[in-house]
C-alpha cells in the first residue's frame, strides 16, 4: 500500500515540476487504454492551468505556492475533514496531540458549509462563555469564516493561554449575531462524572473519549454493584479515541460486531468484535444523546441501539462517521485524508446521517403545576399548629437555624430532573426497564 502511494506522489510531482507531461509507467500501470488516456488528458489540463496561473496571475507566485494552493483546494473539495497540513499546520497538529496548547475547549465541524459548534467541552473556556451546540461561528476576531477551511479556523482559535479571542456567532432564535469574548487556556478535561439517582440508578456522564474512559467507567460499575440501572450521558460529547468507544460498548455486549470501518483500500477495512470478558450484560441502560454527540459517541450509542442493549433518549446526533489518517508527504508537510467510513452492526452508516434516538425528547425544563395549599388530613393538625406558632412568635427562627446534612455522595435531585427533561425521561424509562427485568 505504501509503495503504491509513493508512486502516485512521484508521478504527480514530476509532472508539475517540469510543466510538461511525464508519463510514469507506475502511475498508469493499471487500467485499460481509455483510463490511461483519461488520466493523460486530466494531467495535461492540470499542467496547462498551472502554467497559465504562473505566467499571467497578477501576483508573482512560485511553483511551490501554486502547488500548495492547488492541494488545499483539492482536499477542501473532497470532504469537510480532509485537508492539507502545511508546515505550520503540521506543527500545530503535533502540539495539539501532545495536549500542551492553549485553546477554547470547543469541537467544531463544517455543516452545510458553515463553521458549526459540535459541542463545548464541560469546564472549558468555551463552556463557561456559553457557546452552545449548533452555534454558527461567523467571524473569528475580525476574520470571516466564509470559505475558511476547518484547519484554518482551528488554527485561529488556538493560541497562547490567557490571550483573548472574540467569536461572532449566529444562534437559532436570536435576532442578531452575538459577539462572545473568550480567554484561551490550557485545556484540561475531566472526562467522566459519576452520580446516583434514587440510590439504585447509576448516572455516568462522559465528556470526551480520552485514553482512560473504559477504565474509569468499569471502576464506577465495580464500585456500585447494587446499581440496578445505568444512565449513560453522551450529550455534547464530540468523540475521541476509537479504541475507547469500542471498549465501552464491549463492557455491555458479549458478542457480535461493535463497529466496522470500510474504505476503497482493503487494508484499511477493519471489524471490531465484542468479547465476553468483563461484560456487564444484564444491567439495563438508557443513553442520552443530542446534536452535540459525534464520532465515538455515535459509535457507542448506535452500536448499543443495534444490539438492543440500550434505549436512546434525546435528539438526533451530529453525523460524523468517517475515518481520517495523517499521511506525511515529507518531513514538514502531510495530508489528513478520509480513508473510510464507520458502519454500525446493522450495516447503517453514521456519516451525514447520525443516530436517531428511540425516544425523541427536545431539551427543556419540566413544567410542574403545584397546588399552593395541598395538605393531607393526617398532616392538618401539625400544619395548623406550626402556623399558630408563626403568629405568636414561638419557633419563628426554627427554619433559619436548621442545617442541612452534608451529602456523602453525589446525588441527582428531584430539582435536577425537573431542570433537565431529557434526563428525567431517561430515568423514568430506566425505572420501567428495571421493573420489567425484575419481573422476569
Please give the Cα distance from 140 to 161 (Å, whole number). 17
Q: What sign results for the dihedral spanned by CA atoms 104, 123, 117, 335?
A: positive
DSSP letter string, 139-176 = EETTEE-TT--HHHHHHHH-B-TT-EEEEEEE-TT-SS
Please give the Cα distance from 157 to 98 (Å, whole number). 17
Assess contact for 203 and 194: CB atoms under 8 A. yes
Assess contact for 150 and 163: CB atoms under 8 A. no
Please give the Cα distance from 415 to 410 (Å, whole number). 14
User: Hey, is 373 helix, strand or coil?
Assistant: coil
Catalytic residue among 320, 420, 424, 431: 320
Q: Give ∠ CA 151-157-160 in degrees, rounded to 5.
A: 120
- Closest to 436 (Cα-Cα) out of 269, 294, 228, 235: 228
306: annotated active-site residue: yes
Q: For residue 390, what is the DSSP state?
A: H
Catalytic residue among 151, 185, 233, 306: 306
Please give the Cα distance from 299 to 350 (Å, whole number). 8
- Closest to 433 (Cα-Cα) out of 299, 283, 330, 323: 283
Measured between alpha carbons, how far is residue 334 from residues 49, 65, 326, 337, 367 in Å?
Answer: 24, 16, 7, 9, 53
Scanning the structure block, which residue is given the C-alpha cell 430506566? 430
HEC per residue, 216-274: HHHHHHHHCCCCCEEEEECCCCCCECHHHHHHHHHCCCCCCEEEEEECCCHHHCEEEEC
Catalytic residue among 208, 295, 303, 322: 295
Scanning the structure block, which residue is given the C-alpha cell 508519463? 23
Known catalytic residues are: 295, 306, 320
Amino acid at each position: 500500500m505504501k509503495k503504491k502511494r509513493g508512486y502516485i506522489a512521484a508521478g504527480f510531482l514530476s509532472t508539475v515540476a517540469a510543466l510538461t507531461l511525464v508519463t510514469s509507467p507506475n502511475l498508469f500501470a493499471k487500467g485499460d487504454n481509455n483510463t490511461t488516456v483519461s488520466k493523460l488528458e486530466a494531467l495535461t489540463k492540470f499542467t496547462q492551468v498551472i502554467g497559465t496561473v504562473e505566467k499571467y496571475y497578477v501576483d508573482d507566485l512560485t511553483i511551490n505556492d501554486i502547488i500548495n494552493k492547488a492541494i488545499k483546494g483539492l482536499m477542501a473539495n473532497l470532504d469537510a475533514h480532509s485537508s492539507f497540513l502545511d508546515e505550520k499546520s503540521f506543527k500545530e497538529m503535533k502540539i495539539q496531540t501532545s495536549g500542551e496548547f492553549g485553546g477554547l475547549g470547543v469541537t467544531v465541524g463544517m455543516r452545510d458549509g458553515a463553521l458549526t459548534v459540535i459541542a463545548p467541552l464541560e469546564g472549558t473556556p468555551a463552556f463557561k462563555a456559553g457557546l452552545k451546540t449548533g452555534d454558527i461561528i461567523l467571524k473569528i476576531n475580525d476574520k470571516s469564516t466564509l470559505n475558511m477551511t476547518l484547519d484554518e479556523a482551528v488554527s485561529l482559535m488556538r493560541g497562547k493561554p490567557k490571550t483573548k479571542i472574540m467569536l461572532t456567532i449566529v444562534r437559532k432564535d436570536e435576532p442578531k449575531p452575538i459577539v462572545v469574548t473568550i480567554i484561551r487556556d490550557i485545556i484540561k478535561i475531566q472526562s467522566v462524572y459519576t452520580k446516583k439517582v434514587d440510590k439504585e440508578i447509576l448516572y455516568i456522564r462522559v465528556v470526551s473519549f480520552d485514553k482512560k474512559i473504559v477504565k474509569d467507567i468499569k471502576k464506577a460499575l465495580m464500585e456500585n454493584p447494587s446499581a440496578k440501572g445505568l444512565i449513560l450521558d453522551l450529550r455534547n460529547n464530540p468523540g475521541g479515541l476509537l479504541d475507547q468507544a469500542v471498549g465501552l460498548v464491549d463492557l455491555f455486549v458479549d458478542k457480535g460486531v461493535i463497529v466496522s470501518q470500510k474504505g476503497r483500500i482493503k487494508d484499511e477495512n477493519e471489524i471490531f468484535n465484542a468479547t465476553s470478558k468483563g461484560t456487564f450484560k444484564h444491567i439495563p441502560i438508557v443513553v442520552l444523546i443530542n446534536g452535540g454527540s459525534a464520532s465515538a459517541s455515535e459509535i457507542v450509542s448506535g452500536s448499543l441501539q443495534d444490539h438492543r442493549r440500550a434505549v436512546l433518549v434525546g435528539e438526533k446526533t451530529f453525523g460524523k462517521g468517517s475515518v481520517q489518517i495523517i499521511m506525511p508527504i515529507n518531513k514538514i508537510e502531510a495530508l489528513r485524508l478520509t480513508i473510510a467510513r464507520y458502519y454500525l452492526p446493522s450495516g447503517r452508516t453514521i456519516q451525514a446521517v447520525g443516530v436517531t434516538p428511540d425516544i425523541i425528547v427536545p431539551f427543556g425544563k419540566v413544567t410542574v403545576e403545584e397546588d399552593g395549599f395541598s395538605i393531607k388530613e393526617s398532616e392538618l393538625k401539625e400544619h395548623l399548629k406550626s402556623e399558630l406558632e408563626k403568629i405568636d412568635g414561638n419557633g419563628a427562627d426554627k427554619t433559619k437555624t436548621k442545617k442541612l446534612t452534608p451529602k456523602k455522595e453525589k446525588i441527582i435531585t428531584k430539582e435536577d430532573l425537573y431542570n433537565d427533561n431529557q434526563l428525567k425521561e431517561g430515568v423514568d424509562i430506566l425505572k420501567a426497564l428495571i421493573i420489567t427485568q425484575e419481573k422476569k
